[in-house]
A and B are shown apart, each in its own frame.
Chain A
Amino acid sequence: MVKVFVPRDSTALSLGADKTAKAIQLEAEKRGIAIQLIRNGSRGLFWVEPMVEVETAQGRVAYAPVKPKDVASLFDADFLNGANHALYLGLTNEIPYLKNQQRLTFARAGVTDPVSLEDYVAHDGYKGLKNALTMTQEDIIKTVTESGLRGRGGAAFPTGIKWNTVLGASGEQKYIVCNADEGDSGTYSDRMVMEDDPFVLIEGMTIAGIAVGATQGYIYLRSEYPHALHVLNEAIAKATLAGYLGDDVCGSGQRFYLEVRRAAGAYVCGEETSLLESLEGKRGLVRFKPPLPAIEGLFGKPTVVNNVISLATIPIILDKGAQYYADYGMGRSRGTLPIQLAGNIKQGGLVELAFGVTLRELLYDYGGGSASGRPIRAVQVGGPLGAYLPESQFDTPMDYEAFQNLWAVLGHGGIVAFDDTVNMAKMARYAFEFCSVESCGKCTPCRIGAVRGVEVMDKIATGKDHAKNIQVLRDLSDTMLNGSLCALGGMTPYPVISALNHFGEDFGLDKGLNEKESVV
């Protein structure tokens, strides 16, 4: 029976994948052809979703984008045998966008049925855990440390060092918490892992649990991701039933339980201590650090808090070894980064590559330029708290330190492109507005500063006392940057000041003049 694949990923669904799947099923029935319709994850080529694949002797062949109205003609053209058609893209693995990537964390995304444990195991799943179960806790952590993996949530803290702290902390009960509160605009790689390859996250968390001696894991999942919730719950149930979770993980005698907790739409809960408060059933107020969560985390117990991508990268490191992973990348940024192309971009989607690829390559070679066809004027990298970069910085390689040197951040690897119709002063105002909506309210620089920021941006827009207000904007940003308790208030100045520095003309500053001379 011919296998036909139609993705079930949210973005594919948002472009009508369910209707396409239904149309294919109905057309096959109508023609009396038996097919096996598999709802796979997405390959991440979102600009051509819904992408339908057919398994042929030569490999999987792709057709995209397939709308219900195209289905009859696909059957007429004999797409079930991989024949040519107006929507024919050739062998999936030969599509340049995909072929040129280095998929490690996302090796299975779009290939497998996300909720099929058999599929997962058949595609190298649970090899990492099997290896980990033969190793000592110290050796597992040593492998993670030597791989060079750094926290993919944005802070880029070495994962192995964090785990080692939790291992060394005394306590009967320890926890693994997965931060799946992916609230940054322009990012969706966490969602893709959870929807398209959930077992890899489950496996990563299980390995983390065994490495540090934690028996309970929680996935703190944002409420905006209902599909991910269902997929994760189904996958956890299957993994538990098959003995990969529970009282006796793979017959090792070790325990590990996993539960998904739904968040409730507070951006600040992506900050790890706020997340822990929320998991404990409280308002998500940021905690003072120290104590570090690794020492006193969830319910005061030693806790590993890692991002989805960090945890989902653990299995391949334990499967192929630290060196295999560390061989990718540049400088202190080892391995690969799943980059997400978003905003005004022609070919938006997931691009996993070794660190070192430049913004320009990503925006033009992969992204194909802007969706509107106009020049890309600015990109925001790393979510709403990331800096805006002008065209002159597009040759920057994706590398934590290279971005840091530009007073920018890689964050979670999301890139949002804007064409030349964007008003950067408006984007700066929005950054403050967003901060004021999402501030937890605990510290003054963030709670009050964000509101004052909106006000001063409005004053700048009127042009009255312009030079003075620009100075107020800088002073206020300085206070927020240095005085805030967490990254929300502390990094809101990144988009604001980078917009001001690189796009001063949008703030009423004449090009070539310094701020003091520029009077409106």
Chain B
Amino acid sequence: MPLLHAIQDDIGYIPEDVYPQIAQAMALSVAEVHGFVTFYHHFRTHPVGEHILQVCRAESCQAMGSEQLEADIKAKLGIDYHQTTADGKVTLLPVYCLGNCACSPAVMMDDDVYGRMDMAQITELVSEVSNG
């Protein structure tokens, strides 16, 4: 696990062609490495954009209108979950709870959580990272 975190922290995903090296280092089979990586939602096997926007889908955020927010974000970015904007800036991911439930709906841009979000703030956040 720490090894995979290190790889993903560094390059943003776990390329499938490094499975054999991981397998050898950890004394596992390639199949076991594949099984491990794909079990955990956090690990990605494809490259991602420069920034990652995670939108909370859990109950607390739903109680504060996150479903509409999700739809609006997808429409605004022109992508679905697990996709990256055409300019390569933002990858959109679903997440189940960010622990910010007192201030729903919540999203996370890279490592920063944002609470009580609406589309205006999302738009500002996305343009900040897209131009930054």
Contacts and interface: CB of A to CB of B under 8 A. Distances in A.
A13 B112 contact: yes
A223 B101 contact: no
Contact of B42 (A265, A342, A438): A265
Name the residue among B60, B106, B111 with the largest chain A CB count within 10 angstroms.
B60
Contact of A348 (B5, B102, B112): B102
Interface in B92-126: 95-104, 106, 108, 111-116
A414 B113 contact: no
Contact of A224 (B60, B61, B97): B97
B59 interface: yes
Interface string A218-241: 000001111100000000000000
Contact of A278 (B1, B96, B108, B116): B1
Interface in A3-50: 10-11, 13-15, 46-47, 49
Contacts of B96: 183, 185, 267, 384, 434, 437-438
Nearest to A190: B99
Contact of B100 (A14, A183, A278, A341): A14
Interface stretch (A205-213, A294-302, A416-424): A416-424
Interface in A411-440: 414, 416-419, 422, 427, 430, 434, 437-438, 440
Contacts of B71: none
Nearest to A438: B96
Nearest to A283: B39
Interface in A181-221: 182-188, 190-191
B56 to A, nearest CB: 8
B23 interface: no
Contacts of A437: 96
Contacts of B35: 283
Given A183-B96, A264-B43, A15 B5 contact: no
Given A15-B116, A343-B60, A349 B102 contact: yes
B97 A417 contact: no
Question: For the side of the interface on B, what is the size category?
Answer: 35 or more
Given A262-B1, A416-B101, A186 B59 contact: yes
B11 interface: no
Contacts of B5: 223, 262, 264
Nearest to A437: B96
A188 B111 contact: no
Interface in B35-81: 35-36, 39-43, 58-64
Contacts of B112: 13-14
Nearest to B43: A264
Question: For the side of the interface on A, what is the size category?
Answer: 35 or more
A15 B103 contact: yes
B100 to A, nearest CB: 5
A185 B1 contact: no
A414 B108 contact: no
B42 A416 contact: no
A266 B103 CA distance: 23
Contact of B97 (A185, A419, A427): A185
B13 to A, nearest CB: 13
Given A10-B100, A344-B63, A264 B4 contact: yes
B118 to A, nearest CB: 13
Given A13-B113, A263-B42, A266-B39, 19 more contacts: A11-B103, A15-B115, A46-B102, A49-B103, A185-B60, A185-B96, A185-B97, A223-B5, A224-B95, A265-B40, A341-B102, A342-B104, A343-B63, A344-B104, A348-B104, A350-B102, A371-B64, A416-B63, A427-B59
Interface of B: 1-2, 4-5, 26, 35-36, 39-43, 58-64, 95-104, 106, 108, 111-116
7 smallest A-B Cβ distances: which pairs? Answer: A348-B102, A185-B58, A342-B101, A265-B42, A264-B40, A343-B63, A46-B102
